[in-house]
Each structure stands twice: as structure tokens, then as C-alpha cells.
Structure 1
Amino acid sequence: MRKRPLGKTTLQVSELALGTWGLSGDGYGPISSVEVDRVIDRALAVGIDLFDTADVYGRGEMERCLGKRLQGAGATFVVTKIGTDLDELPPKKRFDPAHLRTAFERSQERLARDVVDVVLLHNPTVAAMRSKEPLDFLKELKQAGKIRAFGVSAGSADVARAALRDEVDVIELAYNALLPGDLHEVAGDVSESGAGVLARSVLAHGLLAGHWSPDRDFYPDDHRAQRWTRDEFKTRLRQLDALRPLVTGNVVSLRAAALRFVLANHLVSSAVLGPRSVAQLDQLVREAGMPPYLRDTALTDLSARLKNLGVTT
């Protein structure tokens, strides 16, 4: 497993990370605890040392699970996210220091770590970023030696840019071949700040695997049932045509092309994967390939094809 620097931090992390939202059962429906353990153990076996989670995933169960599975596993790194008050009905975002302190202490206990590697604010709004208090609190945790790095999991380029102006160590953004715009928009800010970048939604929730037909239906407890209208879904499927010329030589599938697109971006510290089975994880690790992931000419041609199909690059 190749390593990359996590931006200006001193951490060297695997370029593939294991994301745990899908394993929590929150986004795609139930998954057995046995399979969750198997996926985490397999990730360790193939050399993945970076694990991405949040205090809301399974209402803390994914943090607790990582705390158990990673004990004694050697050098591993955990990214967790805080900023949602699950005690409220419905849950609401809270980034005041009092809530963040309680949330961090609970996460730290579940993760069973004296020092948490990376803590991110979980999808704050631009308005929430206007207050300096949340990031100041995380800076205090870092200065106290309780965390190694801090930052923001951003839902937009505007939020990411605000975080980078406040000199965060790490940002997390959705980044994939059909949603490249946010990272590309803040690329200059990332380079100037030296922040590490975690790329999530690498396969666009499975869309970029290229296995779906236009009449595909999702179960009601699968978030994808509400993510796209039927017309939007059909449009996205048509946009996959832009990636098909990449499937040649050792790029053996659309899934491989999509993953390599992310890894080809030198700003990305790690691509956060979301497999729900050992088989899915093994496919992704196998198809990630080696540098150069995609040729520069292939990326330039892809950008032109995406623009022709209505994708903002």
C-alpha cells in the first residue's frame, strides 16, 4: 500500500482509506457485525492504515468498533468528525465549544485513544464557519496534545475555502469524476495552505461502478432512493459515457477508472473508500493500480468529454 503525506501534518497515511459510513448501516441499510469486522480486518491486512468515521455513524458504534478492531494493529490513524447533536429530535448541527467538548470526549472514549489523530467539524455551513470558536476549540485540543490534526469535512467549495483560510490541517471533500468541481475550485487554496485532502464519495455512492440500468430501484432505507430523481439518475448514467474510453489496458473497469481519477490528483492525500464487503474492498485495492494512474492526456480528454456532457470540471 503506497503512502502519501497528509498535507502539512507529520503523518504519512495509506493512499486508500476505509470509510465506515456504509458499514454503519445508516446509509445503505443493515449489515452484519461479522461482515463489518471482516472488512476492517481485511483493510488492515492489505495495508490500509487510515480509517474515516464520525460520532454519528451508527450513533457512535463505528467509533466503538474501530476502537476494538484497531487495538494492537500497529500504527493506524483515525479521522473522526463531530458537530451533530443526536440528543435533539430531530438531530441538529451544533458547533458551540460546549457541545464539541462533550462530543470529542465521547469519541475519544469510544475510539480508546489517548490521542485522536484527526478531528474534523462535520459539514458545517458557511454561516457556522463565520464563528472562530469551533476551529479555535480544535486548535486548543491540538495544542494540548489531545489530537494530532484538525480540520473540516466540507459540503461545498465555499465551506472548504473558509476552512483553508483558517489554516486547518485537513479538509475532506466529495471528489469524483462526476463531481470534480469543488476540489478543483479550491486547488489553489489547498496548495497555498498545505492542507491534506481526504477525498470522499469516490464512486459517487456506487454510480461510477457502472453496473446500474436506468430502471434501477433502491430499497427505502438506502439513501440513494432519495438522492436522485429518475431524470437526474438517467442523466448521470449517460454521463458515464465520458469515462468509458479510459477503460483500456490495465484500467479494467469503470470502477478502476473512477478510482484512478481520484488518485491521479496530487492534492489528494487519501481516497476514502466505502466498501460494504471484503469482496468489494479487494476489488478496489486490486484495481487502484500503480502510478501513473491515468495519463495526463487521458485526463485532459476526459475533462473535455465531461464538459460536453454537462459536468462542471
Structure 2
Amino acid sequence: MKYRRFGKTNFNASEVSLGTWQLGSKWGDPFDEKDAQATLEAAYDAGVNFFDTADVYQDGESQRALAKFIKGKEDKVFISTKVGRRLNPHVASGYNKKNITKYVEDCLTNLDVDALDNVLLHCPPTEVFYNPEPFFTLDKLKKEGKIRNYGVSVEKVEEGMKALDFDISSVEIIYNMFRLRPTDNFFRMAKEHDVGIIARVPLASGLLSGKYTLDTKFGKNDHRTTNRKGEEFDAGETFSGVDFATGVKAASELKERLNAGDKLAQMALRYILMSDAVSTVIPGASKPEQIERNVIAADEPAFTPEQMEIVRDVYDKYIKNPVQYKW
């Protein structure tokens, strides 16, 4: 495993880390504590020291599993946790001092720690980025010692740019072979502000594994079944906002032109790490055997200029319109 400085936090994060939305379960399936602990330990044994979670993941079970896992490892790992998506309805006015403070207190309880390493506002409505109250509340919680760093998880590039007006340490953003716009200006701006970048949805909900066909079926409660048009949350979270049939076709062309064989997923993760603005990439895993497939991406060969051009060409051909203009 290789490590990169995580912006102004100065923590050296594993290049390939672990996102815990799926921890101990597939999307929509019951949580399995045994699988969760085995997955976390497998990641740690492989050199992963950065874990991304949220208070809504499995209704707090993800955080509570991490609480058990980190005992005795507190000084060796970094937990980044998101807050805000427990709001119902999920509206800008809910991102106020009272709610944010309550969510942070609940995270402290769930993770069983005295201070949170990093707190991210969890993809709040765009209006929130123009309201200083949530960010001033996080400043206050930082001064009180309840959080050490804070930032935002965003849907849109513009939201990440606006967040740089505040004292953030990190931005979590969708970046992958099907979502290239962050490289246009945002990554440069983040580096200038010494803000760490967490690349999320790195495989476009599995499209970039190259294993899906038009006949692939997902579980009835899986967001890849229920959220294709944004029925439950932002459509950009599912397949990075790419139409499924288009994504299958684009992934197939990438697989062929890159001579990826059965390694398109690893190559997709390695592509993300080609940007020195990225601090860490957070593929998910629900079982320990999936960890090795993720972490070996850091050891894949660097992309050649020709391979980089292939990715851009496929993006321009299939994905750019309309994805780039929405997010």
C-alpha cells in the first residue's frame, strides 16, 4: 500500500481506502456484523488506514462496527464520517446549528470516541453552501474539541468550489472514468487550498467493473434498481448518473480498447490515482475477499498518455453529454 497526504489534516491516508456504505451487507440486504468485522480487519491487514462512513449507513450499524474495530488502533486509523442525510425531509433548512450538533453528538456515541477525525456534510442541497451557519457550527465544534477536521461531500463540482470559501479540510466528490469534470478546474483549486480529495463512487456503482450486461439484474431494494432516475436521492449517485445501457456499452469499449481483460475495475481505480490532487479513493466492500481486488489497484501500472486519451475519448463519445452538464 502507498500513502498520500490528506490535505491540511497532514494524515497520510492509504491510496485505496474503504467506503462502508455496503459494509456487512449488499445494498438493501440485512447487516451482518461478522462479515463487517472480517471485512474491516482484511482492509487493515492490507494497509488500509482510512475509512469512510455515515450516520445513515445501515442506520448507524456501520459506525458501530467501526467502533469495535478501531479499539486499540485509534492512533493508526482515520475515520471520516458524514452527517445530514438523516434529515427527513432532506432540505437546506435542516442544516442548522441544532441538528448538526445533535448529529455530531450521535456520531461520537456510535463511534465511541471523544473526537471525530473528520466530519463531512452529507451532500446537502446546493443552498447550504451559500449559508455560513453550518460551517460556523462546525468551526465551533472544532474549537470545542468534538471534531478535528471537517469538510463536505458533494454532488456537483460547483458545490465543492463554493465550499472552499470556508475552513474545510476535505471534499468528497464523485470522480471516475465516467465523471471527469472535477479535473477541469476543481482539483487545481482544491490543491491551492490544501484540501484533501476523497474520490467516491469510483466504479460507477459497478459499471466500471466491466462485468455488467443489459441482462444484469439487481436486488429489489438495491439503489441500482430503485434510483436510476433519482427516485430516492440524487441520480448521480447511481451509475454516476449514466444511463445504464449507455454505461454498459461505454464500459465494454473501455475494456476492449484498454486491453483490460478481467482487470477493468482495478484499472478504473488506478486511473483515479493518476491525479495527484486525489488523496484517497474509497471503493466499497461487503466481504473480506473483495478487499484484495480493491487494494491491488494501487500496484497497477501507471496509465500511458495513450491510455489516458482512450478514457477521454470514450467519455466524450458516450458520457459527457449530459453527465458533465448536470454535475
Q: Under a length normalisation based on structure 2, what TM-score does the superposition of the two structures give?
A: 0.87
**Cα distance change on mapping 1:32 and 1:128 into 2, 3 Å:** same
Q: What is the CA–CA distance in structure 2 between the aligned matches of 1:24 and 1:53, rounded to whole Å?
A: 13
Q: How far does residue 253 in structure 1 lie from its aligned partner after superposition? A: 1.1
Q: How far does residue 70 in structure 1 lie from its aligned partner after superposition? A: 1.0
Q: What is the CA–CA distance in structure 2 between the aligned matches of 1:53 and 1:68, rounded to whole Å?
A: 14
- Residue pairs, 1:198-217, within 5 angstroms: 198-217=198-217
- Residue pairs, 1:125-140, within 5 angstroms: 125-140=125-140
Q: Which residue of 1 aligns with 2:99?
A: 99
Q: Which stretch of the first structure deviates more once superposed, 129-138 or 182-191?
A: 182-191
1:57-89 deviation digits (Å, cap 9, x = unpaired): 111111111011111135111000111345x5x
Q: Which residue of 2 aligns with 1:278?
A: 288
1:91-131 deviation digits (Å, cap 9, x = unpaired): 66621011111110110111111121110111112111111
Q: Name stretches of at least 5 consecutive residues in structure 1 with no aligned partner.
A: none
Q: 2:272 aligns with which of 262, 277, 284?
A: 262
Q: Which stretch of the first structure deviates more once superposed, 47-56 or 301-310?
A: 301-310
Higher relative CO (Cα under 8 Å, sequence separation at least 6) belongs to 2
1:157-213 deviation digits (Å, cap 9, x = unpaired): 121111112241100001110112245441232122111000000111111111111
Q: Under a length normalisation based on structure 1, what TM-score does the superposition of the two structures give?
A: 0.91
Q: Which residue of 1 aligns with 2:85?
A: 84
- Residue pairs, 1:100-249, within 5 angstroms: 100-228=100-228, 232-240=243-251, 241-247=253-259
Contact 2:197–2:280 under 8 Å retained in 1: yes
Q: What is the CA–CA distance in structure 2 between the aligned matches of 1:187 and 1:286, rounded to whole Å?
A: 25
Q: What is the CA–CA distance in structure 1 between the aligned matches of 2:113 and 2:184, rounded to whole Å?
A: 34
Contact 2:24–2:33 under 8 Å retained in 1: no
Contact 2:15–2:279 under 8 Å retained in 1: yes
1:300 aligns with 2:272: no
Q: How far does residue 259 in structure 1 lie from its aligned partner after superposition? A: 0.8
Q: Which residue of 1 aligns with 2:71?
A: 71
Q: Could you tell me which amino acid in structure 1 is paired with residue 256 of structure 2?
A: R
Q: What is the CA–CA distance in structure 2 between the aligned matches of 1:95 and 1:32, rounded to whole Å?
A: 31
Q: What is the CA–CA distance in structure 1 between the aligned matches of 2:24 and 2:123, rounded to whole Å?
A: 18
Q: What is the CA–CA distance in structure 1 between the aligned matches of 2:243 and 2:2, rounded to whole Å?
A: 36
SS in 2 for 1:199: strand
Q: Could you tell me which amino acid in structure 2 is paired with residue 299 of structure 1?
A: M
Q: What is the CA–CA distance in structure 2 between the aligned matches of 1:150 and 1:115, rounded to whole Å?
A: 12
Q: How far does residue 297 in structure 1 lie from its aligned partner after superposition? A: 3.5
Q: What is the CA–CA distance in structure 2 between the aligned matches of 1:205 and 1:152, rounded to whole Å?
A: 21
Q: What is the CA–CA distance in structure 2 between the aligned matches of 1:28 and 1:239, rounded to whole Å?
A: 27
Q: What is the CA–CA distance in structure 2 between the aligned matches of 1:180 and 1:28, rounded to whole Å?
A: 29
**Cα distance change on mapping 1:310 and 1:104 into 2, 3 Å:** closer
Q: Could you tell me which amino acid in structure 2 is paired with residue 238 of structure 1?
A: K
Q: What is the CA–CA distance in structure 1 between the aligned matches of 2:35 and 2:129, rounded to whole Å?
A: 38
**Cα distance change on mapping 1:124 and 1:275 into 2, 3 Å:** same
Q: What is the CA–CA distance in structure 2 between the aligned matches of 1:244 and 1:202, rounded to whole Å?
A: 19
